[in-house]
Structure 1
């Protein structure tokens, strides 16, 4: 019986330079996180489905990859890291003082619609600041997100800020049922402008109506905040974003900041500032995060929180392609000369020298030719010598 040697849809093998590019991004991100006082945590790759279902996870159920469990309980491959880390903070770290600065470097697994080409395996590096509220905490996370993209050497990039409270306040002014609010949110997120206009027609005299109709177009520089105020008047959310921008600009981060008040995704999950990072050359956001003040409390410990995750592979693809070292020397050694052979390999730049497994010098020379090496270093009873290939 012939077996399938292909990888499952949404997965693939990664080779050589691509692996090094991923590791380089991970190393730079985790170094920054440690420098800023974050400590690493790791959570299981499989979790009980109930963990995400009962916590109001930002990941839809249909995107979770289901797996079996010997206990018979319904499990999923870890679809996001924030929910398990919130559980850890509320249980295993219950005696640890707040705020807790936690970081992770692990893969999340998400199902994609058939044949859309997306990956099921998404390596992420991220941080969670748990037990910290207010402007200082939000500023810290946003500047850490900007510095994360900057330390990776990302080309032109920016971070877009929004606020979950802005949409809630506008919808609240229309005094709508929850189902109607969700319908408006879906129309805005889907950029279905014609249907949105028809839906809002009965509320045309309310200033919030004009703002909701224009919400998906309210993106760009700081001038967007002024446009939002003209449409709907003063709102706490826009005032707060303005305060954040002033603080970020004073610290030199203003050029990296833009605004998108139409970020209405996962509105029941996020409770305050939301943001996404975009890098030139990437087709979608490579970083996302925001404030989620209700999640940790679900696990028995009230704590406001904020954080973000970086898609490691998405960032790596925007960087210059890494050039692998060229093999120049093959070391042929006789029995008893292993120590000298290892010293020769370890004393040269990584990847430019390797040991020969061949018994004869002739075979080592043939190996060097096949690999494109320049020479064979010979170590035997006659000493050390090189033979050009």
Structure 2
């Protein structure tokens, strides 16, 4: 198997970064067993207008086909994937893992933003469990590390925490939205005066006022909830999040995780754990995700799932002008003497069948920088060698080469 290597590269153009990021994403998603899926660029408007927890309809790009039917350019990927799976089954008979890299289209209200964005993400259809949720968050962490980011922060929350607080409060829809915005902004100064105008118990008021401060190391946040009058369901939610965190510790990722009990995601179909990821020197999330066990109910079926998505354009901006650290763009580079052309073709074919990416060059032709491949193979009339980490190892035939690639170089 190709080793997960990283290396410093020369300064890259945005297009180079864009393509390299997509290549790295494809590889990492595949290592977790995800298969690529594609949805139509055009969807029926009713698919989104009837899903009450969908995106803002004002953001949709609408078109009319020859029959007069209203269509929208794909504004979201999760909903059409869920609909597609429901065409085959109304319930989850086995776990399914899919990933996508495709464009989404939303109306831009800022002239500096583009209508079209490239989104990459995963959808893991499975029953809710700390193990499954932790695995998805671990995948998000590993992806950010693959892309060369060092200062990674994954904020962990739960959609049910806010919902449990407000469900029995005497709030109008407008007041609920206002409270949601105050909590999301961690505006502790204005939350107090807002609550004074409401007929709610002091214990509930105290819980809401404390939410902006329930942020940080998960163990510390859990300790700070002591003495707050949490409902039984809120306590269960907190215990669940701690269960996920404890599994992430087993992955060795605890240094990247913070808990935020005031985290509220704008995608209304999230019903369970939610999370968003940040990287150094970039002021907005580069990935967002969560569990949406109830989305299938909108189509009359049960299809629990968790997923996340990131925008490639944001990742390119986050990389900035610094040197990009990433996976090698090529696994194997082959350089051959003219007399060894047949052997070069045989080796390249075999390695590609084994999912290595391979470039092959005659020794007389222009070649890529040797730093741009994990392995370099040189084929000469009297000598064959494999270069890895500045160590040259001779080999006699394809069988010996494959033995070296799968562990013989350690």
TM-score normalised over the length of structure 1: 0.74
Is the contact made by 2:270 and 2:290 (CA closer than 8 Å) also made in structure 1?
Answer: yes
Distance in structure 1 (CA, Å) of the matches to 2:245 and 2:199 = 32
In the alignment, is residue 188 of structure 1 matched against residue 183 of structure 2?
yes
From the superposition, tell whether residues 349 and 93 of structure 1 become closer, same or farther in structure 2 (CA, over 3 Å): farther
In the alignment, is residue 226 of structure 1 matched against residue 223 of structure 2?
yes
Distance in structure 2 (CA, Å) of the matches to 1:110 and 1:219 = 31
Cα displacement (A) at 1:346: 8.7
In the alignment, is residue 118 of structure 1 matched against residue 113 of structure 2?
yes
Distance in structure 2 (CA, Å) of the matches to 1:103 and 1:18 = 23
Match of 1:334 in 2: none
Cα displacement (A) at 1:316: 2.5
Distance in structure 2 (CA, Å) of the matches to 1:32 and 1:239 = 30
Cα displacement (A) at 1:161: 0.3
Distance in structure 1 (CA, Å) of the matches to 2:91 and 2:132 = 21
Where 2:310 maps in the other structure, the secondary structure is: strand
Distance in structure 1 (CA, Å) of the matches to 2:282 and 2:98 = 27
**Which protein, 1 or 2, shows the higher relative CO under an 8 Å CA cutoff with sep ≥ 6?**
2
- Higher alpha-carbon deviation: 173-182 or 246-255: 173-182
Distance in structure 1 (CA, Å) of the matches to 2:145 and 2:43 = 33
Corresponding pairs, count: 318
Q: Deviations over 1:203-233 (max 9, x none)?
A: 5643221221232343222212322343334
Q: Deviations over 1:27-77 (max 9, x none)?
A: 111111112111111011121221112123442112222223222122221
Distance in structure 1 (CA, Å) of the matches to 2:139 and 2:361 = 41
The equivalent position to 1:160 in structure 2, one of 155, 165, 181, is: 155
Match of 2:245 in 1: 245
From the superposition, tell whether residues 197 and 71 of structure 1 become closer, same or farther in structure 2 (CA, over 3 Å): farther
In the alignment, is residue 171 of structure 1 matched against residue 189 of structure 2?
no
Match of 1:72 in 2: 68
From the superposition, tell whether residues 281 and 172 of structure 1 become closer, same or farther in structure 2 (CA, over 3 Å): same
Distance in structure 2 (CA, Å) of the matches to 1:159 and 1:45 = 30
Q: Deviations over 1:149-201 (max 9, x none)?
A: 11111231111000011112222464656664344223323555555323322
Distance in structure 2 (CA, Å) of the matches to 1:346 and 1:282 = 44
Cα displacement (A) at 1:267: 7.1
Larger radius of gyration: 1
From the superposition, tell whether residues 57 and 347 of structure 1 become closer, same or farther in structure 2 (CA, over 3 Å): farther
Match of 1:38 in 2: 34
Q: How does 1:183-222 map to 2 (within 5 A)?
A: 183-191=178-186, 193=188, 195-201=190-196, 202-203=198-199, 205-222=201-218
Match of 2:44 in 1: 48
Where 2:148 maps in the other structure, the secondary structure is: coil
Distance in structure 1 (CA, Å) of the matches to 2:258 and 2:209 = 20
Distance in structure 2 (CA, Å) of the matches to 1:209 and 1:76 = 42
Distance in structure 2 (CA, Å) of the matches to 1:62 and 1:281 = 31
Distance in structure 1 (CA, Å) of the matches to 2:92 and 2:367 = 44
Alignment RMSD, CA only? 2.8
Is the contact made by 1:156 and 1:280 (CA closer than 8 Å) also made in structure 2?
Answer: yes
Where 1:160 maps in the other structure, the secondary structure is: strand
Which stretches in structure 1 are left out of the alignment for 5+ residues? 1-15, 324-341, 352-389
- Higher alpha-carbon deviation: 154-163 or 285-294: 154-163
From the superposition, tell whether residues 203 and 236 of structure 1 become closer, same or farther in structure 2 (CA, over 3 Å): farther
Is the contact made by 1:139 and 1:248 (CA closer than 8 Å) also made in structure 2?
Answer: yes
Where 1:231 maps in the other structure, the secondary structure is: coil
Distance in structure 2 (CA, Å) of the matches to 1:175 and 1:90 = 37
In the alignment, is residue 128 of structure 1 matched against residue 115 of structure 2?
no
Cα displacement (A) at 1:322: 5.9
From the superposition, tell whether residues 197 and 18 of structure 1 become closer, same or farther in structure 2 (CA, over 3 Å): same
Where 2:266 maps in the other structure, the secondary structure is: coil
Match of 2:264 in 1: 264
- Higher alpha-carbon deviation: 224-233 or 17-26: 224-233
Where 2:43 maps in the other structure, the secondary structure is: strand
Match of 1:315 in 2: 315
